[in-house]
Amino acid sequence: MKNNPDEKNRRKSERMDAAFTLTYNLEKSHTLRISLGLIDDIETVMINLSDLGMAIMTNYDIPLGAQLYIKFDLINMHLSGDERWRSMKITGEVVSNLLISGENRRIGIRFNGISEEDKAAIRDFVISNKLPTNNEN
């Protein structure tokens, strides 16, 4: 597949690589949580983030459409004082599940329960941490 510039920016919101630790659990379906072995909160790593969603790595085969409750701390080193750190509690829907290797899966999540304040903080984080490209002067 060729690198088409239009394909690279197909998302509605700018996304950036991130490496925050987070916890998640499945909302509602107790039966599904038990079948996946997800009784308690699961700790994992976020691999990218935007104000509309994120991707995480996990060893669990979480089905498309599953609702997740996600908690993480957003740390923006470009801010100072209390504004630098924000505790996020967000809900989202699993929209992709890709087996990477062995049991490692990349799970794509679209946020469907996020405050406007959290959305703005993530947007500011993405913008302030964006690396300039060769096209930008």
Structure tokens at 85: 């750190």
Report which DSSP code applies to 65: T
| Whether pLDDT at 115 is above 50 | yes
pLDDT tens across 77-102, in order?
A: 888 888 788 999 999 999 999 999 99
- Angle formed at CA 108 by CA 133 and CA 123, multiple of 5 degrees: 45
Rounded to an integer, the average pLDDT of 67-74 is: 92
pLDDT tens across 14-57, in order?
A: 777 787 788 887 766 655 655 666 666 888 999 999 999 999 99
What pLDDT does residue 89 have? 95
Buried (b) or exposed (e) across 92-121, using 16+ Cβ within 10 A? bbbeebeeeeeeebebbbebeebeeebbeb
* DSSP-H helix ranges across the chain: 5-8, 30-36, 116-129
What pLDDT does residue 92 have? 96
Tell me yes or no: is domain 12-129 CATH 2.40.10.220. yes
Query: How far apart are alpha carbons 12 and 100 in whole angstroms?
Result: 25
Rounded to an integer, the average pLDDT of 59-65 is: 90
What pLDDT does residue 93 have? 96
Q: Name residues whose C-beta falls within 8 Å of residue 61's C-beta, 6 or more positions apart in sequence.
A: 36, 97, 105
Mean pLDDT lowest for which of 13-17, 54-58, 126-130, 133-137?
133-137
* pTM for the whole structure: 0.77
Q: Among residues 25, 111, 13, which one has the least CA distance to residue 60?
A: 25
116 falls in which pLDDT band (50, 70, 90)?
Answer: very high
What pLDDT does residue 31 have? 59
